[in-house]
Structure 1
Amino acid sequence: MKNRSVVRAIEILGLISESKDGLSLNEIVEKTDIPKTTAYEILLMLMETRMVHSEEGKVRLYKVGLRSFLIGNRYIQNMDLIQVARPIVEETMQKLNMTVFIAMLDGNQIVYLHKSEPEYVPIYTANISNREDAYCTSLGKAILSGLPESEQRELIGTMRFRQRTVRTIMDGDSLLEDLKETRKRGYSIDDREILDFVKCLGVPLFNHKNRVCAAISTAGLYSEERNIEEEAGILVGAAREISRRLGYEGDYYGS
């Protein structure tokens, strides 16, 4: 039987971790339906163990603590995926002189796990542990393209589409068509779907179970002068090598 207090503590910690600016006690209670007294006692315990810390202001805000960060960082460092991908990501970044990401799917969102960027980058990009909706990112669409259609439809059914730019995909049928095109091409495209001036490419990564497990992407300023085919070829090559080292023996990348 699950310990209710432990489950609630995990729920509160997860909720706080998704908030950039922190959450007040009232916000936590509202989002979790946990009684206020119980929520406060859990927060005290989380602060005592340095999983959460609080900041004073007009309203006391609770944020992820140092210990949570260290645990999460160790998890990422110990993942075979990141250990395998890191040198290939670095090499790809140097070849293209562009920011390169690794991300995994968590529900209907992606979580950025690794990032390699040139010394001078013209745009701000996501940071490690940031989350973003899968339907409007090259990373998300790349991962979704590697899933069976039944799983794609199940995940799409949980998505809430939001208009980010005039190019953002806004319904499930359009996303399914995009995923079919992604599968044919071998790489996904975020063509200014989140920001009007950013275009990204993504390719799925597969593990030893021949199962999609993550994706790799490039992010750069939109320009008609970008050689997308060349960029995609380098990215697909990187994805193929990472997947091979993870034990993948499927045929997603062709010969």
Structure 2
Amino acid sequence: MKDNRSVNRILSILELISKHPDGLTLGEIYRTLDMPKATAYDFLQTLYKADAIYYKDPFRKTYVIGSKMYAIGSVYTKNSNFITTSAPLLKEFSDEHGCNSFVTKRIGNDKIVFVHTYQSPNSQIVSPMDVGTVYNSFLDTHIGRCYAAFDKKIQPSIKLNEEEVTEILNQGYVMELSGDLNHVVNIAIPIYNFENRCCGVVSYAALHTSAEDTNKLAKHFLEVGDLISRRLGYLGEYCDY
């Protein structure tokens, strides 16, 4: 079936605006998207009238995401089994260990979006990722490399070196140190569903203390991930094929 060009253009406008919390003008939007000015204006007016976007600055007429999109997003959050299953377990894990946790979904072969985040009040670090944050690379982050290693749908197009793949598959997770002093340890693991496929990646960020503590925490996190997958209907080693 042929893609509807108008729908694709509207989605591209919404995606672009969502990445700029301070807002974008008509000129910035149509030039960035290489779209005719009149076409962009018509789409923006339609979205504005539907409360999908609004003017953050009425004088400069800078557009930001509106209440309609937040309402739609909240329905997705409420109805998503992946989020509702993951969130309470990740909260319990994060509060126990004083860390921050994240739920992500893959969009096509080039984007990762954060659909749930939780920062424990006991955490000693601040993570900049909010719901709606988008990563545009699978190879530059621990979360992206986790998808590349475990998600069979993107493996043909996203290549990791064989040594890294072997290491990731053996340990079951991807680890990355971050921060100015490498003081934050980030762990990402795949989550599977009833179709026995990787339906997302969850991760946590914690203060890095020692390799021994990291290994213990990662082992516990793998147990949490396994429980999430089981609750989503994943059969794992019990499959008949």
5+ unaligned residues in a row in structure 1: which ranges? 157-171
- Note closer, same or farther for the CA distance 1:6–1:111 as it changes in structure 2 (3 Å cut): closer
Structure 2 letter corresponding to 1:128: V
TM-score when normalising by structure 1? 0.81
- Note closer, same or farther for the CA distance 1:238–1:192 as it changes in structure 2 (3 Å cut): same
Look up the match of 2:30.
Answer: 29
5+ unaligned residues in a row in structure 2: which ranges? none
Asked if structure 2 preserves the Cα contact closer than 8 Å seen for 1:136 and 1:194, the reply is no
1:241 aligned onto 2:216:
no
1:33-112 to 2 correspondence within 5 Å? 33-56=34-57, 59-106=60-107, 107-112=109-114
- Note closer, same or farther for the CA distance 1:67–1:188 as it changes in structure 2 (3 Å cut): same
- Note closer, same or farther for the CA distance 1:226–1:115 as it changes in structure 2 (3 Å cut): farther
Offset of residue 27 of structure 1 = 1.8
- Note closer, same or farther for the CA distance 1:92–1:120 as it changes in structure 2 (3 Å cut): closer
Offset of residue 147 of structure 1 = 2.3
Structure 2 letter corresponding to 1:135: L
Map Cα deviations across residues 148-186 of structure 1 (whole Å, 9 max, x no partner): 3x8324135xxxxxxxxxxxxxxx54xx54333111111
Offset of residue 204 of structure 1 = 0.5
Look up the match of 1:7.
Answer: 8
Task: Report the Cα distance in structure 2 between the residues aligned to 1:195 and 1:155, rounded to whole angstroms.
Answer: 29
Task: Report the Cα distance in structure 2 between the residues aligned to 1:21 and 1:152, rounded to whole angstroms.
Answer: 36
1:155 aligned onto 2:141:
no
Which deviates further from its counterpart, 36-45 or 189-198?
189-198
Look up the match of 1:145.
Answer: 149
- Note closer, same or farther for the CA distance 1:134–1:197 as it changes in structure 2 (3 Å cut): farther
Task: Report the Cα distance in structure 2 between the residues aligned to 1:194 and 1:127, rounded to whole angstroms.
Answer: 21
Look up the match of 1:213.
Answer: 199
Task: Report the Cα distance in structure 2 between the residues aligned to 1:135 and 1:15, rounded to whole angstroms.
Answer: 22
Describe the SS at the equivalent of 2:224: helix
**Percentage identity across paired residues of the two chains:** 28
Offset of residue 4 of structure 1 = 4.3
1:182 aligned onto 2:152:
no
Task: Report the Cα distance in structure 2 between the residues aligned to 1:216 and 1:3, rounded to whole angstroms.
Answer: 33
Structure 1 letter corresponding to 2:149: S
Task: Report the Cα distance in structure 2 between the residues aligned to 1:212 and 1:223, rounded to whole angstroms.
Answer: 30
Task: Report the Cα distance in structure 2 between the residues aligned to 1:197 and 1:151, rounded to whole angstroms.
Answer: 31
Offset of residue 226 of structure 1 = 6.3
- Alignment length, in residue pairs? 234
Counterpart among 128, 131, 137 of residue 128 in structure 1: 131
Describe the SS at the equivalent of 1:55: strand
Task: Report the Cα distance in structure 2 between the residues aligned to 1:153 and 1:113, rounded to whole angstroms.
Answer: 25
Describe the SS at the equivalent of 2:194: coil
TM-score when normalising by structure 2? 0.86
Asked if structure 2 preserves the Cα contact closer than 8 Å seen for 1:136 and 1:190, the reply is no
Asked if structure 2 preserves the Cα contact closer than 8 Å seen for 1:192 and 1:222, the reply is no
Look up the match of 1:169.
Answer: none
Asked if structure 1 preserves the Cα contact closer than 8 Å seen for 2:91 and 2:120, the reply is no
Asked if structure 2 preserves the Cα contact closer than 8 Å seen for 1:216 and 1:235, the reply is no
Task: Report the Cα distance in structure 2 between the residues aligned to 1:143 and 1:93, rounded to whole angstroms.
Answer: 22
